[in-house]
Amino acid sequence: MLYVLTIPALNDNYVWLIHDGQHAAVVDPGDNAPVCAALQVLNLSLVAILLTHHHADHTGGVRALLAETAVPVFGPANEMIDCVTRHLVEGDVVTLSRLGLSLKVLDVPGHTRGHIAYVAQEQPWLFCGDTLFAGGCGRLFEGTPQQMQASLAKLAVLPDDTLVYCAHEYTLKNLQFALEVEPANAALRDRMAWAQRTRSVGKPTVPSSIVIEKATNPFLRYKEPAIIDRLVAQQKTLSRQPEACFAALRKWKDVFS
């Protein structure tokens, strides 16, 4: 039996600890301290580190973890990250034999040039870093709107029950923007009410799921006529073409407050 433990880190990051009660793999450890604490409390042995991209809030704890235990570090081939021992591209499979876990790799550039995601082969799990968020997507620090659009399309076709383990607690802000974009979406209003209740008691709003994202995330819904109409009405774009609408949506989100 495998479990995924939510570890809050830094300001609003989540580190994901996959474990079977004895062994553990950690995804995007931006800070080693909460990871070490969880390993100690649960009496787990770290067997692998998985990285989605190079940003420090996802990699900052790696060296300290390796100082405690020498384990393989998996990461994107198209980014320069110290300590990575196996460089991955789309189609590669990470096999963690001690956990009985296999993860397929997808290239999902946009947020960064070489960003990757991990899809569990037998569990309905997606570890997507800063590509797909609950209700949103990552900023385009290094990639293009076209790259992010294509990356999200790869994730949107995963099975509906796939759990989306993104790396930040951005949900309320993302849903505020989503409601600005698609105010008549009843599923979105319900999701916002749920998220507000959840955060009011200090609980995380992630993981979400692919089916929830397809119903409420504007960056997966940019082809919807209501969203296109809204973008044109708000003078965010003159074009109704999907590519232009996606780019306009991401640009609008960048300045949304």
Q: For this structure, is 20 an active site residue? A: no
Question: Which of 19, 23, 54, 57 is an active site residue?
Answer: 57
In the residue annotation, 19 being an active-site residue is answered as no
Choosing from 19, 23, 54, 111, which is the catalytic residue? 111
b/e per residue 230-240 (b: at least 16 CB within 10 A):
bbeeeebbeee
Active-site residue, 23 included: no
* Active-site position among 53, 54, 107, 115: 53
Q: Which of 19, 23, 55, 115 is catalytic?
A: 55
Catalytic pick among 23, 54, 115, 168? 168
SS (H, E, C) the chain: CCEEEEEEECCCEEEEEEECCCEEEEECCCCHHHHHHHHHHHCCEEEEEECCCCCHHHHCCHHHHHHHCCCCEEEECCCCCCCCCEEECCCCEEEECCCCEEEEEEECCCCCCCCEEEEECCCCEEEEECCEECCEECCCCCCCHHHHHHHHHHHHCCCCCCEEEECECCHHHHHHHHHHHCCCCHHHHHHHHHHHHHHHCCCCCCCEEHHHHHHHCCCCCCCCHHHHHHHHHCCCCCCCCHHHHHHHHHHHHHHCC
Q: Is 54 a catalytic residue?
A: no
Task: Choose the catalytic residue: 28, 31, 107, 130.
Answer: 130
Say whether 229 is catalytic: no
Catalytic site positions: 53, 55, 57-58, 111, 130, 168
